[in-house]
Amino acid sequence: MAFLFGCERFGMSNDDVYRCDVALSIPSNPQFGSLNLGSAIQVVAYDWRVALGGFPVVEHTPEAHRADMAQVQGMLGHWEQALAHIGFLDPAAPKKLMPRLNQLFNRAQLTQEEIHILRGVAKAMLQSQTPTR
């Protein structure tokens, strides 16, 4: 299944229309010939979702307290020390490890509790007697 949308200025070519099994027209204000392409896509996507059974009611649960940037950066500094301690990170040639970990942890939208867990892991690495690498 595919949905084809024409351009905003000219709609669809006849050749494209002839390839379709079903044609759909979205009623709009008679003063305007068509909807904005983005609006048309939203209307079709919404109606399709409703036809598939709608949207489940989701109870609102309070979001866990997100860690702020200072907490994430502090944890990353802790990890940098720990990774150097175990020999995983060479401080003289860090390459892209820390920027990539920074991106990873920022995408994860860590909570304060998760920051504490990750700092605990870093602490355990720092307390190890000998580097493992």
Overall pTM surpassing 0.85 (yes/no) = no
Amino acid at 26: I
Q: Which helix (H) or strand (E) holds 121?
A: helix 112-127
Handedness of CA 120, 81, 133, 115 (dihedral sign): positive
Q: Where are the domains of the chain?
A: 1-58, 69-127
Distance from the Cα of residue 86 to its chain's centroid = 32
Top-tier CATH class for 69-127: mainly alpha
pLDDT in tens, 69-127: 999 999 999 999 999 999 999 988 878 899 899 999 988 889 999 999 999 999 999 99
Amino acid at 16: D
- Please tell me which residue, 83 or 34, carries the higher pLDDT value: 83
DSSP 8-state assignment for residue 108: T
> Is residue 7 classed as helix, strand or coil in its secondary structure?
strand
